Structure 1
Amino acid sequence: MPDPDPFWWRDAEPARPRRVEGGIQINSTRGPVARTWWSQRFLGVLESLGVGGRLSRGRSYARAGQIISLDVDAGGAVAQVQGSRPQPYKVRVGIPAFGKAEWAAVAQALADDASYAATLLAGEMPREIETVFEAVGLSLFPAGNRDLAMDCSCPDHAVPCKHLAAVFYVLADRFDTDPFQILALRGRDRETLLEDLRARRTAASPPATSDGVPALADVMHEYWSAGPGLPERLTGPRTPPDALLDQVPEFTVDVRGERVADLLRPAYRALAGDDSTPPTAP
């Protein structure tokens, strides 16, 4: 009886993958995938490392939603990609994460310029972000082949295979929406980085201006308090609630022989909780 799974079939996957319901799809249906400069830079780095020439193999997979799951964490991303076989393939992309001391240097450099934190909070990546990393001896994107590990459980010997390539496209698509995922690969999630930036900028803020006057941020809690020598509640001459009616021009019509202003006075007094007799107009 012939072997139902000969060796030449085991090492090659049929071209048509199994359909996935609810798979992860990229937003681009045609043309370029990356929409932001940082995602374009990510794919450009892959091309410079010799990976880009094979990326197109996974574009149809990424657009068809063949990726079942994708998790991004410090040091890499892991995914499940459905091919033509029943069992999804396990895919891993590894990028070295930076240590605590390295991230402290990056955070300090970012905190030194308020525009960096403002740009990140707005959901964008600062144009100078790579320069910031380079200034402390680091690289945000993979700097060489040693900075990028790729593995897939499929039988294809090409690296990257179509499954890895599909994951790269989905990563670029995610980076478009959330640039913090690029930083997460290097070891810092959004909340941790922003909290660190806030703490560093607060610590660097001077407690007072050069002439000895307290900084506004340090006295905001006292804004509504009375100053020295003043009562806690300031009072002035009491103005009748219907005084405004005495300042407007006389209405040109009457209602059943009565002035419109006089008809409105009870309503003004009621809204103010005042039952006193209205003053006579001058």
Structure 2
Amino acid sequence: MSDERVRGFPAFGVTGARGRFARSWWGRAWLSAMEDTALDQRQLKQGRKYAAAGLVGPITVSPGRIAAVVDDVDGGPFRTELRLAELSEADWTRFLDRVASRAGHLAALLDRDMPHDLVEAADDAGVHLLPVIGDLDPECDCPGWELPCKHAAALSFQASWLLDADPFVLLLMRGKGEREIREELESRTAPREDFAAEDRTPGELPDLAGFQPAGAPSIPAAPGVPAEAFALLTANATAQAKALLAGEPWPGRRHDAVRLAAEFPSVAGRLGDGPGFRRAVAAWTYGGRAGLEVLDAPWTPPKTALAAARAALADVTDEEPVFDRNHCTVGGMQVRLDHQGQWHPYRLDGDAWWPAGTPETDPGLLLG
């Protein structure tokens, strides 16, 4: 096992009288897996106190295992670890294929974020990243018989803090280190070179810009298949070919369905349904691929971009904007920054934010 697959983290030290809860939703999912398995809630409470008191030493994370030495006011120290099953190579292939197929997922993961829909997409593929009840296996050489004992509980609390800062900790426990994951993702998203023809300048791509799939070819309807379906399939195949030749990752079936529903409204009902799908279609309609990504995957912009946005908004509103990563909320309006520097407007409808217009580089224009 290479050093890259064994990571060490310094002890947290004393964090306060009661410690802190996990801040990320995946950190909280980690704790839920431990808490739902616990047979004695008193051990959890004691473990949280031990975590807050800094009784957990430096933590080592490796595939299938997270370990530390935990001190005790009544004895110790004790060698403590939590075990989690590694993913199979087939599972890793399915998971990494899913990540590479969605630019938003890839950007979020590399930005140390784990979007809900990434985990849901992995679950749909039969790959379960987050532990559930019974997945975490605690071990400790203390004389206690509880599962988990207070030492394993303390380690689990601090492990959730590590996960807050870096979801690659969870992926390492599942079997692969960050460098290995990055290399495999790069191999999946690298431009393809096997399409170059002999009569083309090296690196030159075929020009598909003039090809209009809506008008050519003209294919009549077939029994049970309307003519519009053929136009839709042609448009989809052309878009995939352009992306492939440009070396862009093809984002997958949901991306296809959303884009085609936006471009062919008359068949949108056949491609998907429900508020989530309609929001995605609205996001694509207003902002294209960037609009869909900014709907699906929050990310952390540079501080300079947020400072510029704050200054622009100060010119058009007296309300104090609330920033949450690339989301900025002012009253009943929200704007979201994409990776190209465009702000996408959103309006609150019930308990959900809906795309509300085309993006602008100046967020003040969207709120003015």
**The structure with more strand, counted as a fraction of residues:** 2
1:151 aligns with 2:139: yes
Q: Following superposition of structure 1 onto structure 2, how do residues 15-164 of structure 1 map, counting pairs within 5 Å?
A: 23-25=11-13, 30=18, 32-50=20-38, 53=41, 54-84=43-73, 87-145=76-134, 147-164=135-152
Q: Which amino acid aligns with 1:117?
A: L
Report which stretch shifted further, 198-207 or 167-176.
198-207
SS of 2:67's equivalent in the other structure is strand
1:28-71 per-position Cα deviation (integer Å, ceiling 9, x unaligned) = 65474111111112112323334683422211111111112211
Match of 1:201 among 176, 180, 189: 189
Cα distance between partner residues in 1 of 2:69 and 2:180: 27
Preserved contact between residue 81 and residue 139 of structure 2 (Cα < 8 Å) = yes
Preserved contact between residue 19 and residue 51 of structure 2 (Cα < 8 Å) = no
Cα distance between partner residues in 2 of 1:169 and 1:26: 13
| Percent identity of paired positions between Structure 1 and Structure 2 | 27
Q: Which amino acid aligns with 2:158?
A: V
Larger radius of gyration: 1
1:58-109 per-position Cα deviation (integer Å, ceiling 9, x unaligned) = 1111111111221111101111111136641011111000122221111011
Preserved contact between residue 20 and residue 52 of structure 2 (Cα < 8 Å) = no
Preserved contact between residue 33 and residue 136 of structure 2 (Cα < 8 Å) = no
Query: Unpaired runs of 5+ in structure 1?
Result: 1-21, 219-282
CA distance change for structure 1 residues 111 and 86 in 2, over 3 Å: closer, same or farther?
same
SS of 1:128's equivalent in the other structure is helix
* Aligned-residue offset at 1:116: 0.7
Match of 1:190 in 2: 178
SS of 2:58's equivalent in the other structure is strand
Preserved contact between residue 57 and residue 70 of structure 2 (Cα < 8 Å) = yes
SS of 2:99's equivalent in the other structure is helix
Q: Taking CA–CA contacts closer than 8 Å with sequence separation of 6 or more, which of the two structures ends up with the larger relative contact order? A: 1
Match of 1:248 in 2: none
Match of 2:169 in 1: 181
Cα distance between partner residues in 2 of 1:141 and 1:51: 21
Cα distance between partner residues in 2 of 1:201 and 1:150: 38
Match of 1:211 in 2: 208
Cα distance between partner residues in 2 of 1:168 and 1:83: 16
CA distance change for structure 1 residues 107 and 65 in 2, over 3 Å: closer, same or farther?
same
Q: Which amino acid aligns with 1:25?
A: G
Match of 1:172 in 2: 160
Preserved contact between residue 26 and residue 169 of structure 1 (Cα < 8 Å) = no
Preserved contact between residue 189 and residue 247 of structure 2 (Cα < 8 Å) = no
CA distance change for structure 1 residues 216 and 136 in 2, over 3 Å: closer, same or farther?
closer
Cα distance between partner residues in 2 of 1:132 and 1:187: 19
Give the aligned CA root-mean-square deviation in angstroms: 3.0
* Aligned-residue offset at 1:196: 0.9
Cα distance between partner residues in 1 of 2:172 and 2:117: 18
Preserved contact between residue 57 and residue 161 of structure 1 (Cα < 8 Å) = no
Q: Which amino acid aligns with 1:43?
A: L
CA distance change for structure 1 residues 216 and 204 in 2, over 3 Å: closer, same or farther?
closer
Query: Unpaired runs of 5+ in structure 2?
Result: 1-9, 197-204, 211-241, 249-368
CA distance change for structure 1 residues 75 and 31 in 2, over 3 Å: closer, same or farther?
closer
| TM-score under structure 1 length normalisation | 0.61
Cα distance between partner residues in 1 of 2:99 and 2:15: 31
Preserved contact between residue 95 and residue 125 of structure 2 (Cα < 8 Å) = yes
